[in-house]
Structure 1
Amino acid sequence: MIQRLLHFLDASPVNFLAVRNIAHELEAHGFRRIDAASPLGHVSAGDRFFVTKNDSSIYAFRIGRKPLADQGFHMICAHSDSPTFRIKPNAEMTGEGGIVRLNTEVYGGPILSTWMDRPLTIAGRVITRGADALSPVTHLIHIRRPLMQISNLAIHFNRQVNDGVKLNRQKDMLPILGFVNDELERGNMLINLIVEELNRTATVTRDDIIDFDLYLADTTPACTFGAHNELISSGRLDDLSMCYAGLEALTAAHDSDTTQVLAIFDNEETGSQTKQGAGSPFLSYLLQRIALAQSGTAEAYYQAVERAFMISADNAHAFHPNYAEKYDPTNHPMLGGGPVIKFNAAQKYASDAVTAAVFAELCRKAGVPCQRFVNHSEVAGGSTLGNILASSIPLRGVDMGNAILAMHSCRETGSVADHEYCVKVFTTFYNE
């Protein structure tokens, strides 16, 4: 199971590739891709299908034996994006000696220093001309070799570096791509690399390319470590580990009376307020269309929402033994201690006593330990998908996740046992 997760993480350096890989796995398990622009048609018990939005969010459904109006739906939500650096347009910056850097901007909230002095590459999507202006062609790209590095300033020029240095996002975080060999390469190094990579599977010229959404990605493979290989080291555990746990559970679950939903949103790291984010009405439209196809009445959707349950799956903070003072004294989850229910008095999370009790009982039924997380009262916490989604679909639900260390680092640390626990409880939830 863990090797499958590691493979998925390595193959999914950005949101677009994560969604493509999830789609391929769903198709291998009998789910069919449908186009949201086409009529949904008749919906029958046992139907399996999925929809994508913007190539970066995906919504999968297994229709239950009973209509949504009578049984509701069981939904697991996660997000496909992680903090990184986006390559800006006109990105090449050629300086003294012909050294080329790429102009980037920060996406989300990464720990900047963790991206330095490590081999990086690029991944994302490239847009080329299509049949007409409104129908461009999308190509996904992942160059699987080290291409660049964000290099630190030597300690000899910055003697205070180990006392803490504020990094300038525009100055300090620009990766070195290489050296210009001739004048024809000046200003064209990045586009030449893109064309070379695309021509492995297609025929594309520089003139065909209109635009791109490209991001930096670590090239170091995901791995296990520890005396007993009990820990996971990888980028993007937040939140691809939850995406994959939900996918493994959905494909392992059996048909039930209740419709099963896996919703993987994009742009959680930047607030979710996009057409492919949790703040969009897109998912609610899909659920309404399914309910209407089953019953012929809009009332069925509103009944389904009242009978539904949502698990908002986004990683939690594990207790770090070097920084005990940062954690709540009685609610600090441990690596390997099982899934974590997240609470917040300011309602940053969807969990309440009732929904937490539901999830705790699911864990008990699955034979899985369960933990709880509350922020130290002097430490501000983050937010996640649950309440954002509930603002458009008033769902009963719980915010949870597996405990990890170094959240938003280029390399995060998780637990092998926790991933296995999570898949078990998610599968139990879908089978209820």
Structure 2
Amino acid sequence: MNEKNFAKDLIEFIYSSPTSFHAVKTSKELLNVNGFEELKLNEKWNLEVGKKYYVTKNLSAIIAFTLNSKNIEKEGFRIISSHSDSPTFRIKPNAEMSVEKTYLKLNTECYGGPILNTWLDRPLGVAGRVVLKGEHILKPKEEIVNINKPICIIPNIAIHMNRSVNEGYALNKQKDMLPLVGLLNDSLEKDNFLLNQLALNLGVSSEEIIDFDLFLYEFEKGNLIGANEEFISSGRLDNLSMAHASLNSLIDTKGENGINVVAVFDNEEVGSSTKQGADSNMLLNILERICMSLGKDREEFFTSIYSSFMISSDLAHAVHPNLSEKHDPTNRPIMGEGPVIKINANQAYTSDAYSISIYKNICNEAQVKCQEFVNRSDERGGSTIGPISSTHIDIPSVDIGSPILAMHSIRELGSVKDHYNIYKTFSKFYEV
């Protein structure tokens, strides 16, 4: 698959993944058609060298791995981690609200740190997880749902009523960011609108629905843009692009050493402190279960861990063409020039000279150029799952990612070439 086709495949992957639940569903479908076997967390594992497996948590996180060798005490785990969630708006319970006895809108809560004004005047869909009555009171049934149409919009107010809007306007998350659904009439009632939509979509009665985790998403599909279609314009590049690249490299690579692992966590955008987030023992427990299933004792498990390496993959900030002064004077990554190694003196990223050297070696082997990113010393930057994972799995780790513009916008901008090149480095990591 060439660069442009790989970018188009990413766009399809993202379009099929409007929420973290859908991202895991899309990932499972990709793994299934490539011979991976699903494991259950509450069942005994009987793993075999040469086979491929995956396991999910909360329907919103997934860990996949290939067993290349039984000699993991010396060869270890080769882990690439990313996350499935993106900034958005979660629909609250009792969400229906009427205004002027005419408009129906939904009550929402902000998830993560989106650039708020980019969500205005966009066709929005609703998707997520619905929980139904099951056969046992302790085991309700879960369904993934996508109301796959532009069902709502968050309208701006006219400039005539907000003359200073272009001088800066602070949007209020409770007042300004509520999506409009429609006009109240005989066919659209305020009460139980959402439940009725979900029931219709799932083909069940509304009485069967117990609860839901629903989110807004940009309905319009991403596309390739630019004079030579060199850019990827899409929502949720952060961080589904890294999930896409790592999953495909795991599938395409024929590794011979140790165990290759892809870990796609949830809830990075809100701190990772969940059972399916990087600030949990989810990955550590799964790695130990792999060792146990291969007949290793606990001492051999720890030996395997300390023979391992992790690439924490999230996106990086490219130099902005209109605001280049926002970037460090000497470390200035740009789109199209390769993966970015992220560095921070205060350990917002895990990269150090040792782990950076390993990733640079990987890039050299893959014949891919790399770049380095450091924040301006007078600007506070973000962080990612790397440092959080390191508090649970204390192995060498490097934070890297493709450079993009407009991070956390409803529509982010990446590079076709960079996405393919980071896939090449992931593949080389799994091969060597």
Code of the residue aligned with 1:227 in structure 2: it is A
On the 8 A contact 1:67/1:291 being kept in 2, the answer is no
Look up the match of 2:290: 290
Look up the match of 1:333: 333
Could you tell me how far 1:184 is from its partner in structure 2?
7.7
Equivalent position SS for 1:147: strand
The CA distance in 2 between the partners of 1:332 and 1:420, in whole Å, is 20
- Map 1:371-386; keep pairs closer than 5 Å: 371-386=371-386
Q: Which of 157, 161, 168 matches 1:164?
A: 168
On the 8 A contact 2:8/2:224 being kept in 1, the answer is no
User: Structure 2 vs 1, CA of residues 325 and 131 (structure 1 numbering), >3 Å: closer, same or farther?
Assistant: same
Look up the match of 2:3: none
Look up the match of 1:154: 158
Equivalent position SS for 1:143: strand
The CA distance in 2 between the partners of 1:352 and 1:46, in whole Å, is 33
Equivalent position SS for 1:325: helix
Q: Which of 137, 145, 156 matches 1:141?
A: 145
User: Structure 2 vs 1, CA of residues 183 and 236 (structure 1 numbering), >3 Å: closer, same or farther?
Assistant: closer
- In the alignment, does 2:285 pair up with 1:280? no
Code of the residue aligned with 1:25 in structure 2: it is L
1:31-60 superposed Cα distances (whole Å, 9 cap, x missing partner): 10010111112x321121100000000000
Q: Which of 8, 13, 27 matches 2:32?
A: 27
Code of the residue aligned with 2:97 in structure 1: it is M
User: Structure 2 vs 1, CA of residues 183 and 428 (structure 1 numbering), >3 Å: closer, same or farther?
Assistant: closer
The CA distance in 2 between the partners of 1:177 and 1:206, in whole Å, is 19
Look up the match of 2:200: 196
Equivalent position SS for 2:106: strand
- In the alignment, does 2:425 pair up with 1:425? yes
Equivalent position SS for 2:269: helix
- In the alignment, does 2:92 pair up with 1:88? yes
On the 8 A contact 2:97/2:190 being kept in 1, the answer is no
The CA distance in 1 between the partners of 2:216 and 2:145, in whole Å, is 12
Equivalent position SS for 2:54: strand
On the 8 A contact 2:66/2:259 being kept in 1, the answer is yes
Code of the residue aligned with 1:47 in structure 2: it is K
Number of aligned residue pairs: 427
What residue ranges of structure 1 are gaps of 5+ in the alignment? none
Look up the match of 1:7: 12
Could you tell me how far 1:98 is from its partner in structure 2?
2.2
Q: Which moved more, 1:113-122 or 1:178-187?
A: 178-187
1:279-317 superposed Cα distances (whole Å, 9 cap, x missing partner): 110111111111122234101111111110100000000
Give the share of equivalent positions with the same residue, in percent. Answer: 47
Q: TM-score, normalised by structure 2?
A: 0.97
Look up the match of 1:173: 177
What residue ranges of structure 2 are gaps of 5+ in the alignment? 1-5
1:96-146 superposed Cα distances (whole Å, 9 cap, x missing partner): 142101000000000000000010010101111000111111111112211
Q: Which moved more, 1:91-100 or 1:182-191?
A: 182-191
Look up the match of 1:126: 130
The CA distance in 2 between the partners of 1:192 and 1:376, in whole Å, is 51
- Note the aligned Cα RMSD (angstroms): 1.0
Look up the match of 1:38: 43
Could you tell me how far 1:256 is from its partner in structure 2?
1.1
Q: Which moved more, 1:138-147 or 1:348-357?
A: 138-147
On the 8 A contact 1:224/1:230 being kept in 2, the answer is yes
On the 8 A contact 1:49/1:62 being kept in 2, the answer is yes
Equivalent position SS for 2:365: helix
Code of the residue aligned with 2:14 in structure 1: it is L
Look up the match of 1:231: 231
On the 8 A contact 2:83/2:264 being kept in 1, the answer is yes
On the 8 A contact 1:46/1:255 being kept in 2, the answer is no
